[in-house]
Amino acid sequence: YRGTSRRLDPYGVVLRFGHWYVVGRDRDHDAPRAFRVDRFDDDPVIGPGAAFDPPDTVDPGAFVRDPLTYGSDQPIEARVLVDVARAALVVDDLGHESVAERRDDGSVVVTMPVVNRVAFRTWVLELLEHAEVLGPPELRDEFVAWLQAVISPRTERV
């Protein structure tokens, strides 16, 4: 996966925003992980059947639904404007309780706790031009600065 071999006890395969993920326990890090299938470098190697028992209480969908809250930092409450083209998809994914505002044009403002800012950036970027980070100001400023760094010309170092 992206140049690194991974050993995973898979709990399931989940579709989110048009991408398939295999989710489970990463055996090398002893931690929950979700891996996007289209980012595999090679075909997976399947281990022996019945090599582990997935926990009964695990919801595989939670691995890709809640990555924003992984980590130990204090959560920050993000506000994101989602246009009508993706509003229903996002509300279905986050739940109706995440809707802070419904606008006349069909767009919604959703709120969500964010601990993992890299996962948050990925979540917003998957929505492409259909989402805008509204706040809080420090989260928006951080996101804009990251985008500017990505698109600014790189100077070659010697």
pLDDT in tens, the chain (158 residues): 777 888 888 888 887 656 788 888 888 888 778 888 888 888 888 887 778 888 888 888 777 766 555 555 677 899 999 999 999 999 988 889 999 999 999 999 999 888 778 888 888 998 999 999 999 999 999 999 998 988 887 655 54
Smallest Cα–Cα separation from 95: which of 62, 119, 117? Answer: 62
| Three-state SS at 17 | coil
Q: What does the radius of gyration of the chain's CA atoms come to, in whole angstroms?
A: 18
Question: Which contiguous run of DSSP H or E holds residue 125?
Answer: helix 117-126
Chain-centre distance of CA 127, in angstroms?
Answer: 11
What pLDDT is stored for residue 26 in this prediction?
A: 86
β pairing state of 99-102 and 19-26: unpaired
The predicted pLDDT at position 135 comes to 95
What distance in Å separates the CA atoms of residue 23 and residue 137, rounded to the nearest whole number? 33
Query: Which pLDDT value is given to residue 104?
Result: 97
Amino acid at position 74, single letter:
Q
Query: How many whole angstroms from its chain centre is CA 15?
Result: 12
Global pTM exceeds 0.75: no
